[in-house]
Amino acid sequence: MKGYHTIKINCKGGIVSPGELLDILNVASTAAVKQVGFGLRQQLLIDVEENLAGKLAEGLKLLDIAYEVDKDEYPNIVSSYPAEEVFINNSWLSEGVYKDILDELDHRPRLKINVSDSNQSFTPLLTGNINWVASPRNPHFWHLFIRFPKTNSVFEWNEIVYTNDVARISRDIEKIIYSDTAAFIQNQSVDGEALFAIIKKGTYITRTASERMVLPSFNLPYYEGFNRHNNKYWLGVYRRNEMFTVSFLKELCELCLSTKLGQLCSTPWKSIIIKGIEEKDKQWWSSLLDQHEINMRHAANELNFQVEDNDYGAKRLKTWLVRKLNAMDARTFGICIGIKTRKGSEIFSSILIKRKPLIKVFGKGFFHVYDILCSKDFNPNERTETVFISNITRWHLAPELQNAVLWYYKKKTERRAMPPEPLAAAVKPAKEPRELPYQCTHCLSIYDSVYGDQEQGVEAGTLFRQLPDSYCCPICEAPKKDFKRILLEVVEGVVNGK
Protein backbone atom coordinates (compact mmCIF):
# COMPACT_ATOMS: atom_id res chain seq x y z
CA MET A 1 0.00 0.00 0.00
CA LYS A 2 1.35 3.41 -1.01
CA GLY A 3 2.16 5.95 1.68
CA TYR A 4 1.39 9.64 1.24
CA HIS A 5 2.59 12.94 2.67
CA THR A 6 0.58 16.16 2.82
CA ILE A 7 2.35 19.30 1.63
CA LYS A 8 0.75 22.47 3.02
CA ILE A 9 1.27 25.87 1.37
CA ASN A 10 -0.25 28.98 2.93
CA CYS A 11 -2.35 31.33 0.78
CA LYS A 12 -2.25 34.41 3.00
CA GLY A 13 -5.77 35.71 3.59
CA GLY A 14 -7.14 33.26 1.01
CA ILE A 15 -5.65 35.33 -1.83
CA VAL A 16 -4.03 33.19 -4.52
CA SER A 17 -1.82 34.48 -7.34
CA PRO A 18 -2.70 32.54 -10.53
CA GLY A 19 0.90 32.84 -11.76
CA GLU A 20 2.34 31.42 -8.53
CA LEU A 21 -0.33 28.71 -8.32
CA LEU A 22 0.43 27.69 -11.92
CA ASP A 23 4.12 27.32 -11.02
CA ILE A 24 3.21 25.17 -8.00
CA LEU A 25 0.88 22.99 -10.08
CA ASN A 26 3.56 22.46 -12.74
CA VAL A 27 5.96 21.26 -10.03
CA ALA A 28 3.21 19.07 -8.54
CA SER A 29 2.66 17.46 -11.96
CA THR A 30 6.30 16.34 -12.08
CA ALA A 31 5.60 14.48 -8.80
CA ALA A 32 2.59 12.68 -10.34
CA VAL A 33 0.04 14.73 -8.36
CA LYS A 34 -3.37 14.62 -10.06
CA GLN A 35 -5.53 16.48 -7.51
CA VAL A 36 -5.10 19.18 -4.87
CA GLY A 37 -7.43 20.72 -2.30
CA PHE A 38 -7.87 23.73 -0.05
CA GLY A 39 -8.23 23.58 3.74
CA LEU A 40 -10.46 25.14 6.37
CA ARG A 41 -7.90 27.94 6.84
CA GLN A 42 -7.78 28.69 3.09
CA GLN A 43 -4.43 26.90 2.63
CA LEU A 44 -3.39 24.75 -0.35
CA LEU A 45 -3.05 21.04 0.48
CA ILE A 46 -1.19 18.59 -1.78
CA ASP A 47 -1.15 14.85 -1.10
CA VAL A 48 1.90 13.28 -2.74
CA GLU A 49 3.23 9.74 -2.84
CA GLU A 50 5.89 9.10 -0.23
CA ASN A 51 8.63 8.29 -2.75
CA LEU A 52 7.90 11.48 -4.75
CA ALA A 53 7.53 13.94 -1.85
CA GLY A 54 11.22 14.86 -2.04
CA LYS A 55 10.90 15.76 -5.70
CA LEU A 56 7.94 18.05 -5.00
CA ALA A 57 9.73 19.66 -2.04
CA GLU A 58 12.82 20.32 -4.14
CA GLY A 59 10.74 21.99 -6.83
CA LEU A 60 9.02 24.23 -4.25
CA LYS A 61 12.40 25.26 -2.86
CA LEU A 62 13.52 26.34 -6.33
CA LEU A 63 10.37 28.48 -6.55
CA ASP A 64 11.12 29.92 -3.08
CA ILE A 65 7.71 28.71 -1.85
CA ALA A 66 7.38 28.16 1.92
CA TYR A 67 5.76 24.83 2.77
CA GLU A 68 5.32 22.29 5.54
CA VAL A 69 5.15 18.50 5.35
CA ASP A 70 2.56 16.67 7.50
CA LYS A 71 2.37 19.47 10.06
CA ASP A 72 0.92 22.91 10.68
CA GLU A 73 3.39 24.77 12.88
CA TYR A 74 2.77 27.96 10.89
CA PRO A 75 -1.01 28.25 10.36
CA ASN A 76 -2.37 30.24 7.46
CA ILE A 77 -3.74 33.76 8.08
CA VAL A 78 -7.49 33.67 7.43
CA SER A 79 -9.38 36.69 6.07
CA SER A 80 -12.84 37.54 4.83
CA TYR A 81 -11.36 39.03 1.66
CA PRO A 82 -12.96 36.35 -0.59
CA ALA A 83 -16.38 37.73 0.46
CA GLU A 84 -15.43 41.37 -0.24
CA GLU A 85 -17.56 42.84 -3.07
CA VAL A 86 -19.39 39.50 -3.25
CA PHE A 87 -21.25 38.99 0.04
CA ILE A 88 -20.26 42.23 1.82
CA ASN A 89 -21.86 45.59 1.12
CA ASN A 90 -21.61 49.03 2.73
CA SER A 91 -18.34 48.43 4.55
CA TRP A 92 -15.33 50.70 4.99
CA LEU A 93 -13.08 47.62 4.76
CA SER A 94 -11.84 47.62 1.17
CA GLU A 95 -9.50 45.43 -0.87
CA GLY A 96 -6.67 47.91 -0.28
CA VAL A 97 -7.05 47.75 3.52
CA TYR A 98 -7.00 43.94 3.52
CA LYS A 99 -3.86 43.87 1.39
CA ASP A 100 -2.09 46.53 3.47
CA ILE A 101 -2.64 44.46 6.63
CA LEU A 102 -1.64 41.18 4.96
CA ASP A 103 1.51 42.77 3.51
CA GLU A 104 2.50 44.05 6.95
CA LEU A 105 1.97 40.59 8.44
CA ASP A 106 5.27 39.60 6.86
CA HIS A 107 6.36 37.07 9.51
CA ARG A 108 5.37 33.40 9.71
CA PRO A 109 3.02 33.38 12.70
CA ARG A 110 2.85 30.34 14.93
CA LEU A 111 -0.53 31.47 16.25
CA LYS A 112 -3.68 31.48 14.12
CA ILE A 113 -4.63 34.98 12.96
CA ASN A 114 -8.07 35.90 11.55
CA VAL A 115 -8.79 39.25 9.87
CA SER A 116 -12.53 39.66 9.36
CA ASP A 117 -15.16 42.17 8.39
CA SER A 118 -17.93 42.38 10.99
CA ASN A 119 -20.53 42.66 8.24
CA GLN A 120 -20.36 39.02 7.08
CA SER A 121 -20.61 35.43 8.25
CA PHE A 122 -19.11 33.66 5.22
CA THR A 123 -15.71 33.33 6.91
CA PRO A 124 -15.27 32.55 10.63
CA LEU A 125 -14.52 35.40 13.02
CA LEU A 126 -13.15 33.68 16.12
CA THR A 127 -11.50 30.42 15.02
CA GLY A 128 -8.06 32.01 15.33
CA ASN A 129 -5.95 32.76 18.40
CA ILE A 130 -5.62 36.43 17.43
CA ASN A 131 -8.93 37.54 15.93
CA TRP A 132 -9.32 40.99 14.39
CA VAL A 133 -12.90 42.09 13.65
CA ALA A 134 -13.45 45.39 11.84
CA SER A 135 -15.39 47.93 13.89
CA PRO A 136 -18.78 48.57 12.25
CA ARG A 137 -18.93 52.16 13.57
CA ASN A 138 -15.30 53.29 13.66
CA PRO A 139 -13.61 53.20 10.23
CA HIS A 140 -10.02 51.88 10.33
CA PHE A 141 -10.37 50.54 13.87
CA TRP A 142 -10.51 46.89 14.91
CA HIS A 143 -11.86 44.90 17.83
CA LEU A 144 -9.43 42.32 19.20
CA PHE A 145 -10.48 38.88 20.48
CA ILE A 146 -7.88 36.54 21.93
CA ARG A 147 -8.53 32.80 22.08
CA PHE A 148 -5.63 31.37 24.00
CA PRO A 149 -3.89 28.33 22.44
CA LYS A 150 -5.38 24.93 23.34
CA THR A 151 -8.22 26.48 25.35
CA ASN A 152 -11.78 27.61 24.69
CA SER A 153 -11.18 30.85 26.57
CA VAL A 154 -11.98 33.94 24.45
CA PHE A 155 -11.35 37.48 25.73
CA GLU A 156 -12.23 40.79 24.08
CA TRP A 157 -9.94 43.75 24.66
CA ASN A 158 -11.68 46.94 25.77
CA GLU A 159 -9.52 48.94 23.32
CA ILE A 160 -9.97 49.13 19.56
CA VAL A 161 -6.84 49.26 17.42
CA TYR A 162 -5.97 51.39 14.39
CA THR A 163 -5.41 49.55 11.09
CA ASN A 164 -1.70 50.43 10.84
CA ASP A 165 -0.99 48.72 14.18
CA VAL A 166 -2.82 45.42 13.56
CA ALA A 167 0.27 43.60 12.23
CA ARG A 168 2.63 44.98 14.91
CA ILE A 169 0.34 44.09 17.80
CA SER A 170 -0.17 40.60 16.32
CA ARG A 171 3.58 40.01 16.37
CA ASP A 172 3.90 41.39 19.90
CA ILE A 173 1.05 39.25 21.24
CA GLU A 174 2.70 36.12 19.86
CA LYS A 175 5.99 37.06 21.57
CA ILE A 176 4.19 37.65 24.89
CA ILE A 177 2.30 34.35 24.75
CA TYR A 178 5.36 32.26 23.88
CA SER A 179 7.49 34.03 26.48
CA ASP A 180 5.18 32.69 29.22
CA THR A 181 3.68 29.45 27.93
CA ALA A 182 2.60 28.26 31.39
CA ALA A 183 0.37 31.32 31.81
CA PHE A 184 -1.08 31.55 28.31
CA ILE A 185 -1.00 28.12 26.60
CA GLN A 186 -3.24 25.17 27.57
CA ASN A 187 -4.21 26.98 30.76
CA GLN A 188 -7.97 26.70 31.31
CA SER A 189 -7.86 29.42 34.00
CA VAL A 190 -5.89 31.81 31.81
CA ASP A 191 -6.13 35.51 32.71
CA GLY A 192 -6.92 37.58 29.63
CA GLU A 193 -6.56 40.85 31.51
CA ALA A 194 -2.94 39.98 32.32
CA LEU A 195 -2.16 39.80 28.61
CA PHE A 196 -4.06 42.98 27.80
CA ALA A 197 -2.21 44.86 30.55
CA ILE A 198 1.08 44.01 28.86
CA ILE A 199 -0.22 44.96 25.41
CA LYS A 200 -1.43 48.33 26.64
CA LYS A 201 2.08 49.34 27.64
CA GLY A 202 3.07 49.49 23.98
CA THR A 203 2.95 52.59 21.82
CA TYR A 204 0.01 51.79 19.59
CA ILE A 205 -2.82 53.91 18.27
CA THR A 206 -5.87 52.71 20.21
CA ARG A 207 -9.02 54.11 21.71
CA THR A 208 -11.39 52.80 24.35
CA ALA A 209 -14.23 50.81 22.83
CA SER A 210 -17.54 52.55 23.48
CA GLU A 211 -19.31 49.19 23.50
CA ARG A 212 -18.63 45.49 23.22
CA MET A 213 -18.61 43.98 19.75
CA VAL A 214 -21.89 42.30 18.82
CA LEU A 215 -21.13 39.31 16.63
CA PRO A 216 -23.19 39.21 13.42
CA SER A 217 -25.95 36.64 13.15
CA PHE A 218 -25.01 33.73 10.91
CA ASN A 219 -26.37 33.35 7.40
CA LEU A 220 -24.52 31.15 4.95
CA PRO A 221 -24.83 32.54 1.41
CA TYR A 222 -24.97 30.30 -1.64
CA TYR A 223 -21.34 30.41 -2.73
CA GLU A 224 -21.36 28.47 -6.00
CA GLY A 225 -21.97 29.22 -9.68
CA PHE A 226 -21.95 32.33 -11.86
CA ASN A 227 -23.26 35.41 -10.08
CA ARG A 228 -23.57 38.98 -11.31
CA HIS A 229 -22.17 41.82 -9.20
CA ASN A 230 -22.56 45.35 -10.58
CA ASN A 231 -21.36 45.10 -14.19
CA LYS A 232 -19.14 42.03 -13.69
CA TYR A 233 -19.43 38.41 -12.55
CA TRP A 234 -17.94 36.25 -9.86
CA LEU A 235 -17.67 32.49 -10.12
CA GLY A 236 -17.74 30.06 -7.19
CA VAL A 237 -16.51 26.50 -7.75
CA TYR A 238 -17.20 23.68 -5.28
CA ARG A 239 -16.21 20.04 -5.71
CA ARG A 240 -18.11 17.24 -4.02
CA ASN A 241 -14.94 15.43 -2.94
CA GLU A 242 -13.29 18.75 -1.97
CA MET A 243 -10.54 18.12 -4.54
CA PHE A 244 -9.66 19.99 -7.76
CA THR A 245 -7.87 18.29 -10.62
CA VAL A 246 -4.49 19.77 -11.41
CA SER A 247 -5.43 19.96 -15.12
CA PHE A 248 -8.53 22.06 -14.35
CA LEU A 249 -6.68 24.45 -12.03
CA LYS A 250 -3.86 24.90 -14.54
CA GLU A 251 -6.28 25.99 -17.24
CA LEU A 252 -8.12 28.16 -14.72
CA CYS A 253 -4.86 29.96 -13.84
CA GLU A 254 -4.03 30.42 -17.52
CA LEU A 255 -7.50 31.88 -18.16
CA CYS A 256 -7.07 34.28 -15.22
CA LEU A 257 -3.78 35.49 -16.70
CA SER A 258 -5.11 35.82 -20.24
CA THR A 259 -8.18 37.79 -19.07
CA LYS A 260 -6.05 40.01 -16.79
CA LEU A 261 -7.36 38.68 -13.47
CA GLY A 262 -4.49 38.91 -11.01
CA GLN A 263 -5.95 36.76 -8.24
CA LEU A 264 -8.39 34.08 -7.21
CA CYS A 265 -9.57 33.25 -3.70
CA SER A 266 -9.71 30.13 -1.57
CA THR A 267 -12.52 29.94 0.99
CA PRO A 268 -13.00 28.18 4.35
CA TRP A 269 -15.63 26.06 2.59
CA LYS A 270 -12.82 24.41 0.56
CA SER A 271 -14.08 26.08 -2.59
CA ILE A 272 -12.61 28.78 -4.82
CA ILE A 273 -13.96 32.14 -5.97
CA ILE A 274 -12.90 34.13 -9.04
CA LYS A 275 -14.00 37.78 -8.91
CA GLY A 276 -14.14 40.52 -11.53
CA ILE A 277 -15.01 38.44 -14.62
CA GLU A 278 -15.92 40.72 -17.53
CA GLU A 279 -19.10 40.14 -19.54
CA LYS A 280 -17.05 39.58 -22.70
CA ASP A 281 -14.99 36.86 -21.00
CA LYS A 282 -17.86 34.92 -19.45
CA GLN A 283 -18.03 32.59 -22.47
CA TRP A 284 -14.46 31.41 -21.84
CA TRP A 285 -15.22 30.57 -18.23
CA SER A 286 -18.35 28.67 -19.26
CA SER A 287 -16.30 26.76 -21.80
CA LEU A 288 -13.72 25.85 -19.13
CA LEU A 289 -16.45 24.44 -16.89
CA ASP A 290 -17.90 22.49 -19.83
CA GLN A 291 -14.57 20.96 -20.84
CA HIS A 292 -13.85 19.72 -17.33
CA GLU A 293 -17.46 18.72 -16.58
CA ILE A 294 -17.61 20.97 -13.52
CA ASN A 295 -21.06 20.68 -11.99
CA MET A 296 -22.71 23.82 -10.64
CA ARG A 297 -25.57 24.40 -8.21
CA HIS A 298 -25.15 21.62 -5.68
CA ALA A 299 -27.87 21.33 -3.03
CA ALA A 300 -27.52 23.40 0.12
CA ASN A 301 -27.65 20.09 2.03
CA GLU A 302 -24.14 19.48 0.69
CA LEU A 303 -22.67 22.99 0.61
CA ASN A 304 -23.54 23.56 4.27
CA PHE A 305 -21.19 20.91 5.66
CA GLN A 306 -17.78 21.53 7.25
CA VAL A 307 -15.36 18.64 7.86
CA GLU A 308 -11.80 18.59 9.11
CA ASP A 309 -8.88 18.69 6.69
CA ASN A 310 -7.63 15.27 5.55
CA ASP A 311 -10.34 13.43 7.48
CA TYR A 312 -11.56 10.84 5.02
CA GLY A 313 -13.85 9.16 7.57
CA ALA A 314 -15.66 12.48 8.12
CA LYS A 315 -15.95 12.95 4.33
CA ARG A 316 -17.56 9.51 3.98
CA LEU A 317 -20.00 10.32 6.79
CA LYS A 318 -20.81 13.66 5.15
CA THR A 319 -21.56 11.91 1.82
CA TRP A 320 -23.81 9.39 3.58
CA LEU A 321 -25.70 12.10 5.48
CA VAL A 322 -26.15 14.22 2.35
CA ARG A 323 -27.70 11.21 0.63
CA LYS A 324 -30.06 10.63 3.56
CA LEU A 325 -31.06 14.30 3.81
CA ASN A 326 -31.73 14.46 0.08
CA ALA A 327 -33.92 11.34 0.31
CA MET A 328 -35.84 13.01 3.15
CA ASP A 329 -36.08 16.21 1.06
CA ALA A 330 -34.78 18.01 4.17
CA ARG A 331 -34.12 21.74 4.20
CA THR A 332 -30.84 22.95 5.71
CA PHE A 333 -30.59 26.37 4.08
CA GLY A 334 -28.64 29.01 6.00
CA ILE A 335 -27.14 26.68 8.60
CA CYS A 336 -23.64 25.23 8.97
CA ILE A 337 -23.29 21.54 9.90
CA GLY A 338 -19.91 20.33 11.16
CA ILE A 339 -18.51 16.81 11.62
CA LYS A 340 -15.83 16.17 14.21
CA THR A 341 -14.13 12.78 14.54
CA ARG A 342 -10.78 13.70 16.10
CA LYS A 343 -10.05 14.89 19.62
CA GLY A 344 -8.71 18.41 20.04
CA SER A 345 -9.84 19.67 16.64
CA GLU A 346 -12.26 22.54 16.13
CA ILE A 347 -14.97 22.87 13.50
CA PHE A 348 -16.86 26.02 12.51
CA SER A 349 -20.51 24.97 12.83
CA SER A 350 -24.05 25.85 13.93
CA ILE A 351 -24.81 22.18 14.54
CA LEU A 352 -21.92 19.84 15.35
CA ILE A 353 -21.92 16.07 14.92
CA LYS A 354 -19.28 14.60 17.19
CA ARG A 355 -18.19 10.97 16.84
CA LYS A 356 -16.81 9.10 19.85
CA PRO A 357 -15.86 5.46 20.47
CA LEU A 358 -17.61 3.25 23.00
CA ILE A 359 -14.49 1.08 23.32
CA LYS A 360 -10.80 1.91 22.99
CA VAL A 361 -8.11 -0.74 22.47
CA PHE A 362 -4.47 0.39 22.29
CA GLY A 363 -5.63 3.91 21.48
CA LYS A 364 -7.88 2.81 18.62
CA GLY A 365 -11.64 3.39 18.87
CA PHE A 366 -14.38 0.84 18.11
CA PHE A 367 -18.20 0.89 18.05
CA HIS A 368 -18.74 4.61 17.58
CA VAL A 369 -21.73 6.63 18.77
CA TYR A 370 -22.57 10.25 18.06
CA ASP A 371 -23.56 13.46 19.85
CA ILE A 372 -25.36 16.36 18.17
CA LEU A 373 -24.54 19.75 19.71
CA CYS A 374 -25.76 23.26 18.90
CA SER A 375 -23.86 26.51 19.23
CA LYS A 376 -25.40 29.46 21.04
CA ASP A 377 -28.19 30.94 18.87
CA PHE A 378 -26.92 28.54 16.16
CA ASN A 379 -24.15 31.04 15.42
CA PRO A 380 -20.89 29.20 14.52
CA ASN A 381 -18.87 32.14 15.87
CA GLU A 382 -20.19 31.31 19.35
CA ARG A 383 -19.00 28.32 21.35
CA THR A 384 -20.87 25.03 20.89
CA GLU A 385 -22.70 24.57 24.18
CA THR A 386 -26.13 22.87 23.99
CA VAL A 387 -26.39 19.08 23.72
CA PHE A 388 -29.33 18.31 21.44
CA ILE A 389 -28.99 14.54 21.75
CA SER A 390 -26.17 12.21 22.75
CA ASN A 391 -24.96 8.63 22.34
CA ILE A 392 -27.01 7.82 19.25
CA THR A 393 -26.10 5.30 16.57
CA ARG A 394 -25.21 6.16 12.99
CA TRP A 395 -28.67 5.04 11.87
CA HIS A 396 -30.32 7.64 14.08
CA LEU A 397 -28.12 10.48 12.81
CA ALA A 398 -30.07 11.68 9.76
CA PRO A 399 -33.53 11.95 11.40
CA GLU A 400 -32.11 13.47 14.58
CA LEU A 401 -30.05 15.94 12.52
CA GLN A 402 -33.26 16.89 10.72
CA ASN A 403 -34.94 17.40 14.12
CA ALA A 404 -32.07 19.68 15.19
CA VAL A 405 -32.45 21.73 11.99
CA LEU A 406 -36.22 21.97 12.56
CA TRP A 407 -35.48 23.26 16.06
CA TYR A 408 -33.22 25.91 14.49
CA TYR A 409 -36.00 27.05 12.14
CA LYS A 410 -38.48 27.14 15.05
CA LYS A 411 -36.12 29.33 17.11
CA LYS A 412 -35.43 31.54 14.08
CA THR A 413 -39.17 32.06 13.53
CA GLU A 414 -39.71 32.92 17.19
CA ARG A 415 -37.08 35.67 16.99
CA ARG A 416 -38.88 37.40 14.12
CA ALA A 417 -41.43 40.08 14.99
CA MET A 418 -44.94 39.14 13.93
CA PRO A 419 -46.70 41.63 11.59
CA PRO A 420 -49.42 43.71 13.24
CA GLU A 421 -53.03 42.70 12.76
CA PRO A 422 -55.04 44.96 10.41
CA LEU A 423 -57.26 47.45 12.30
CA ALA A 424 -60.39 46.10 10.71
CA ALA A 425 -59.41 42.48 10.55
CA ALA A 426 -62.14 40.13 9.48
CA VAL A 427 -63.22 37.47 11.93
CA LYS A 428 -61.24 34.36 11.03
CA PRO A 429 -62.56 30.86 11.51
CA ALA A 430 -60.89 29.07 14.38
CA LYS A 431 -58.18 26.66 13.31
CA GLU A 432 -58.08 23.10 14.54
CA PRO A 433 -55.42 22.72 17.24
CA ARG A 434 -52.23 21.14 15.99
CA GLU A 435 -51.87 17.46 16.89
CA LEU A 436 -49.09 16.88 19.42
CA PRO A 437 -46.18 14.75 18.17
CA TYR A 438 -45.75 11.10 19.11
CA GLN A 439 -42.44 9.56 20.17
CA CYS A 440 -41.15 6.01 19.92
CA THR A 441 -40.49 4.75 23.47
CA HIS A 442 -37.55 2.65 22.25
CA CYS A 443 -35.33 4.90 20.10
CA LEU A 444 -37.04 8.27 20.82
CA SER A 445 -37.73 8.92 17.11
CA ILE A 446 -40.61 11.39 16.67
CA TYR A 447 -43.67 11.19 14.39
CA ASP A 448 -45.05 14.66 13.67
CA SER A 449 -48.25 14.86 11.59
CA VAL A 450 -47.05 18.20 10.16
CA TYR A 451 -44.32 16.36 8.23
CA GLY A 452 -45.68 12.82 7.94
CA ASP A 453 -43.24 10.02 7.08
CA GLN A 454 -42.23 10.34 3.43
CA GLU A 455 -39.99 7.26 3.47
CA GLN A 456 -42.99 5.07 4.41
CA GLY A 457 -45.39 6.81 2.05
CA VAL A 458 -47.22 8.78 4.77
CA GLU A 459 -48.15 12.22 3.47
CA ALA A 460 -47.72 15.43 5.46
CA GLY A 461 -50.87 16.21 7.46
CA THR A 462 -51.68 12.60 8.29
CA LEU A 463 -52.79 12.42 11.94
CA PHE A 464 -51.29 9.70 14.12
CA ARG A 465 -54.70 8.07 14.63
CA GLN A 466 -55.05 7.84 10.84
CA LEU A 467 -51.92 5.74 10.50
CA PRO A 468 -52.58 2.06 9.76
CA ASP A 469 -52.06 -0.43 12.57
CA SER A 470 -49.17 -1.85 10.53
CA TYR A 471 -47.22 1.43 10.84
CA CYS A 472 -43.85 1.01 12.54
CA CYS A 473 -40.97 3.22 13.65
CA PRO A 474 -38.74 4.12 10.65
CA ILE A 475 -35.63 3.75 12.83
CA CYS A 476 -36.06 0.70 15.08
CA GLU A 477 -39.26 -0.77 13.52
CA ALA A 478 -41.17 -0.69 16.84
CA PRO A 479 -44.96 -1.05 16.33
CA LYS A 480 -47.37 1.88 16.35
CA LYS A 481 -48.66 0.98 19.83
CA ASP A 482 -45.20 1.74 21.28
CA PHE A 483 -45.48 5.45 20.41
CA LYS A 484 -46.53 7.90 23.15
CA ARG A 485 -47.89 11.42 22.75
CA ILE A 486 -45.52 14.15 24.02
CA LEU A 487 -45.59 17.92 24.53
CA LEU A 488 -43.42 20.19 22.40
CA GLU A 489 -42.49 22.03 25.60
CA VAL A 490 -41.20 18.75 27.06
CA VAL A 491 -38.98 18.14 24.05
CA GLU A 492 -37.63 21.66 24.26
CA GLY A 493 -36.97 21.27 27.98
CA VAL A 494 -34.96 18.09 27.40
CA VAL A 495 -32.92 19.77 24.67
CA ASN A 496 -32.08 22.67 26.96
CA GLY A 497 -31.17 20.39 29.84
CA LYS A 498 -34.05 21.52 32.09
Single out the residue of 414, 370, 367, 415 nearest to residue 388, CA to CA. Answer: 370
pLDDT digits (tens, 9 = 90+) for 81-117: 999 989 987 899 999 999 999 999 999 999 999 999 9
pLDDT digits (tens, 9 = 90+) for 140-155: 999 999 999 988 889 9
CA separation for the pair 361, 364 (Å, rounded): 5
- Helices marked H in 416-461 — which ranges? none
3-state helix, strand, coil in the chain (%, to 5): 30, 25, 45
Q: Is 321 exposed, middle or buried (0-12, 13-18, 19+ CB in 10 A)?
A: buried
Strand partners, 440: 483
Strand partners, 355: 370
Confidence of residue 459 (pLDDT cuts 50, 70, 90): confident
CA separation for the pair 389, 373 (Å, rounded): 7
pLDDT digits (tens, 9 = 90+) for 252-268: 999 999 999 999 999 99
pLDDT given at position 257? 97
Q: Is the pLDDT of residue 14 over 60?
A: yes
Is the four-CA dihedral 43, 48, 53, 59 of positive or negative sign? Answer: negative
Cβ(350)–Cβ(218) below 8 Å:
yes
Q: What domains can you pick out in the chain, each with its CATH number?
A: 88-208 (no CATH), 301-412 (3.30.413), 438-495 (2.20.28.10)
Q: Is the pLDDT of residue 425 over 80?
A: no
Beta strand 225-229 with 232-237: parallel, antiparallel or unpaired?
antiparallel
pLDDT given at position 51? 95
Highest mean pLDDT of the ranges 301-315, 334-348, 410-424: 301-315
Single out the residue of 268, 147, 132, 114 nearest to residue 213, CA to CA. Answer: 132
Confidence of residue 436 (pLDDT cuts 50, 70, 90): confident
Confidence of residue 478 (pLDDT cuts 50, 70, 90): confident
pLDDT given at position 170? 97
Q: Is 107 exposed, middle or buried (0-12, 13-18, 19+ CB in 10 A)?
A: exposed
Residue 49: DSSP 8-state: E
228-242, 370-384, 478-492: segment of lowest average pLDDT: 478-492
pLDDT given at position 94? 92
162-171, 203-212, 379-388: segment of lowest average pLDDT: 379-388
Query: Percentage of the chain with pLDDT > 70?
Result: 93
- Helices marked H in 78-191 — which ranges? 95-104, 166-179, 181-184
pLDDT given at position 433? 55
Distance between first and last Cα of the chain: 51
pLDDT given at position 161? 96
Confidence of residue 230 (pLDDT cuts 50, 70, 90): confident
CA atoms within 13 A on the CB side of 80: 29
